Every structure is written in structure tokens, then in C-alpha cells.
Amino acid sequence: MSYHKISDLHPNVTDKWQINVMVSRIWKSFNHSSGRLLSIDMILSDEHGSSIHAKIPANVMHPFKDVFVEGSVYRIHKFVVLHYKSRYRLLRCDIFVQFIRSTMIHASMLQSSSFTRHVFEFVPFNSLAQRENDDTYLTDVIGVLCQWGVVEKIDSVKSINNEVRNIVILDEMGLEVTVSLWGNLARHISDDDIRNHGSPNIVIVLCSCRVRRFKGSLCLWTTGSSQLYIDLPVSMLHIYKNIHVDHVVFNLANQTDAGMHITSMSQLLTDLQEGVPKGTMYNIYVNVIGVDFTNDWKYVPCPICRRKSTFENGHYYCSNCKKNVMNPRQGYKLVLNVIESGVQASFVLFDDYAIPFLGFTVDELIEKSNLEGVDNPEWVVDFLNELVLAREAMFRIKVDDYNMAPNYVLRFTVSKLIGDHDEFPNNRTTTALSDSDVVRSNADVHVEQLIDGECAIYEDKEFYSKISEEEMELADEAMWGPRTLSSGSNSSLTTVDASNELDVVSLVSVSVVNEVDTRDEDTSDVVVPDVESGGSVGRSRPRRNARTPVRYRT
């Protein structure tokens, strides 16, 4: 008997469809507030490599309740094909199959070996930014487990799925992403399962997640359709089994916690000299001192491997993938010069972390340059340096071959932007939360706020003492001249001998924009308007509440 391919399906008034498909995965969807069962959902695949989402609504599910088994092949007859009208689509497909009361199920005569057992659409970590807050399509990922958190209950979440476990997974490029496992997935795999796993590399497959941003870094949240697998035999498994990870870090703090493992640059240098495995991760809290413009700050990446493509014969070509780049777009390769504990290094940021750090995409920055710096070829250089200079941030960096002996090159690729200074109010006192070799820490790190390598923050109460009224008056006189009494005339002027004025510049430094430089002029007879009585000559002395100097900042 003839049957249709999945690629033949399209929305129509008919229900006379018939397909032979394998059930790749199956799950039940619930209302998160009430716990009511909404539907049985499946991913179906055919022998031609096509796949589609199938839904069995609650009002018709009883005859099909215990029929389907993952990995089995069925002939399905009489169902409807519908357009999606909502978000959260499981595959890059705009239609789905829906069962009706008259749908018929039979075991298929086709061999299961003709079908793809596991169907996923894995998204590379460096492409997750394109799906941030866009829930049209849910996201599948694969990575090596690095950190395994505890299960916590979030009382503020009004749902039956208010338990969460945070984990961190690593891809083949050394990029990390944090995943929040909600509801049943939080306890789907126990701590003992992870500890007793036979292989040092635990390959995680997660499907149907949402992409969000937390503290400047992209993260994944599971949904009611998400499923978690360990060492699933997919085609990419062998690649991730060969990624070096010493062991899994346990008891990762919840994302709401501010605690972070911080390593000083001096400790990092010591570790490099003593020898650390390639791929070891460090959290470094640094001060940015500029942008390195030795090479271009942007490039055209290959959308597949993210390597640099070159312009050849009218096209951008990726020598790694051996193909032309379709729809080429520019991305960041921003090299920041940073300093910590007197040690300088270079941190390289690509799109995933350069965009949230700067607040602009490359295209937006180029457009801004065309508008504001049309006559200044150095506008971008000045703008970027001004934007990043003296900013403090915590980055997660990865050790590569060139960082180790014999070269010890202090140029690191950023694998995570953990946050800016304002997001870490307690970063000055850091302690080690783990003795893991995956993320090194130093319990004695004390990070000082350095500006141009000179000025530091001191715990000096006198430095922060309240400015007295007398000091305020002296500051006013340094800025506006002495206060004078009116003789009754609105236009009267008083002559003051400036040579007798107090030198208060050393007490309060005041900068006046556009003030005339009088250093070479004779100021023995300075005429000051009596602005207290309404004089209008020269600059007006402001009211007290309008001329309070800026307080010293901590």
C-alpha cells in the first residue's frame, strides 16, 4: 500500500494522510499551574530523513495512551495537518500533525534500521545569541558536563515545577553555557548517577530549551517539552567524548547567588608554569585599560565553524569548511587589554560576549560611526577606548596551547562574560568555593580598583568625611570669587584685590568648561559683579542648592 512522505504533508481539509514513521521521542505536556495533562507529544521521523512534531490532544488521547514506544515504527492513517499558531515550535517546521478520534495506528512493515533513531537540531553555542528571547523555535544543544548544581526550590515561581538545578556544559570550541533544569528534569538524574559515571566525559543532550540572558551571559531554560539525555548515541558523540574535562564540579551555586570562584592573574601565571591541562577554565576579575587595534576588531565568520573567512573571487570563502559563505555578516573579534594585580593580558571577545559588553552589534557600531564620525577616521578607535577604559568585569577564560610552555602567551579567549563591576558588589572579598581543577580559585585574592595603575580605593574615614560649611564657602570663592555685600545699587561693582585671596585650589580642584585662561594676565585688580544684589555682569553666582560640589565617590 502506498503512503506519504513527511515532506508531502501540508495543511488541508482532508484527513486521508498515511505515513510510516518511527517515534524518535515521546512525552506528556502538562499545565504548569494546575498540573492538568494537556497532550501527548511525539517527534516522528521517516526513512527519508524528514521529521515532524505530532500532538495527541487530551480529549482524544485515551485510545492512544499506551500504544507508542520510542524507537518503534508505525503506520499512521487519518490525521490532520495544521499550521502552528503559537511559539515554542520543536523543529524548523511550520506545520504539525494532530491526531483525531478516527486516527488509526498499525505496526509498520518497514525495518527500523531504515530510520534515524534520534532526531535533534543542535544549535552551536556561538549561535545562541540569535535565539535570545525568541521562542518561535525551541533549541537543542549538546555539550560535555562541567558543573553539576544542587536542586533548589524557588518559592517565587508560581508553578508545580518550582524546583531547579543549574548545570554548565562545554562545547568543542571551549564555550560554556549554563542550563537551568526545571521541574522533573531537576531530579531526572541524581548526583550519584553523575559521580558513578564510568567515563570522565559525560556528554549531555538537551532538547526544546529557551534562550535567555543572565548577568550578561546567555543561558538555557528547559520547558515542559525538554528532555535530558546522557551519552546518547548521536553522530556527534565521539567528538564530545574527546574533549578534555578533568572531572565534574559539584554543588554549583544557583544562578541567583553572587558567589564566584575568582583567580588572580599571578595565580594563573603560577599555574601555567606548573602545568595545567589544555581547556582549564579560570574566572578572572580585571580592569580594562583599552582595546588592542593591532589587528581589525571585526571579521566575517563562517556561520558553521565560526572561523575567519576570506574574500576570494567575489565571495567570502571558508578554507576550513571548503565552501563559500552565504549571506556573510561581520562579527566582533575584540581584543581587550586588561590588568589585574599588576599583570597585563589580552582577552579576546567574539559576538556572544562582545555585544552584551559593548551594547552594540558590529553593524550598529558601523552605522553609528557613519553618522557621528564621518570626518574622523579614528572615530571607532576613540569611541571603543572611551567605552571600555577603566571598566571592571569578570570573564571566564580558557587555557589554550599557546598559553602554556614554552611560550606563555597571555592572550586568552573569553568563554563567558560573567558580569560587570556593578553586578558584583561583594567582589572585593573572594573565597574559593571548590577545589576543582576545572575552575581554579584563590582564596587570598584581593582585587583593588586601579585607575591607570595608580589610584586605589582606601578604607580611610577621613577621606570620606563630610564636607564642612567652611570648606564649601572656600570652594565657592575659588570658583566664583569672594562673596560681597551690596551697597544698594543693582549695578554696583566691587573691586577686590585678588592677591589677598586664599589659595584653596589645593583643597578642592574645580574644572570650569570654556573658562578663559588668565594665567598670563595681570589679575591684581579683578572686577567682580555683586551678584548677590542682582548684578548681571559676568557669570552669576549660583544658589547654594545648585552649586553643591560632587561628593567623593567610593
- Looking at the domain that runs over 6-114, which CATH code has it been given? 2.40.50.140
Q: DSSP state, 505? A: T
pLDDT over 90, % of the chain: 42
Residue 187: which residues within 8 A CB-CB, separation 6 or more?
Answer: 151, 163, 165
Dump strand ranges (E) for 269-329: 281-291, 298-299, 310-312, 315-318, 323-324
- CATH 2.40.50.140 maps onto the chain at 6-114, 125-252, 265-440
Q: How far apart are the C-alpha atoms of 49 and 7, rounded to whole Å?
A: 10
Q: Which has the higher per-residue pLDDT, 166 or 507?
A: 166
Name the DSSP letter for residue 293.
Answer: -
The 8-class DSSP code of residue 421 comes to: G
Residue 42 has pLDDT above 90, yes or no: yes
Is the model's pLDDT at 246 over the cut of 60? yes
Average model confidence (pLDDT) across the chain:
77
For the domain spanning 125-252, the CATH number is 2.40.50.140
pLDDT of residue 1: 62
| 252 or 428: which leads in pLDDT | 252
Q: Partners of 256 in the beta sheet?
A: none
CA angle 120, 124, 125 (to 5 degrees): 125
> Residue 548 pLDDT more than 70?
no
What would the mean pLDDT of 439-450 be, rounded to a whole number? 33
Label residue 476 by pLDDT band (50, 70, 90).
low
Q: Is the dihedral of CA 550, 551, 552, 554 positive or negative?
A: negative
Beta strand 331-340 with 343-350 is antiparallel
Under a CB-based contact definition with an 8 Å cutoff, are residues 91 and 126 in contact?
A: no
pLDDT, one tens digit per residue, over 60-104 is 999 998 899 999 999 999 999 999 988 889 999 999 999 999 999
Contact of 178 with 221, CB cutoff 8 Å: no
> What are the DSSP calls for 74-122, one per residue?
EEEESBEEEE--SS-BSSS-SEEEE--TT-EEEE-SS-GGGS-S----B
**CATH homologous superfamily of 265-440:** Nucleic acid-binding proteins (2.40.50.140)
pLDDT tens by residue, 381-433:
999 999 999 899 999 898 988 999 888 999 999 988 887 655 544 443 333 32
Assign 260 a pLDDT band (cuts: 50, 70, 90): low
- Within 280-405, strands assigned E span 281-291, 298-299, 310-312, 315-318, 323-324, 331-340, 343-350, 392-398
Tell me the C-alpha distance between 341 and 264, whole Å.
7
Nearest one of 109, 106, 140 to 122, comparing CA atoms: 140
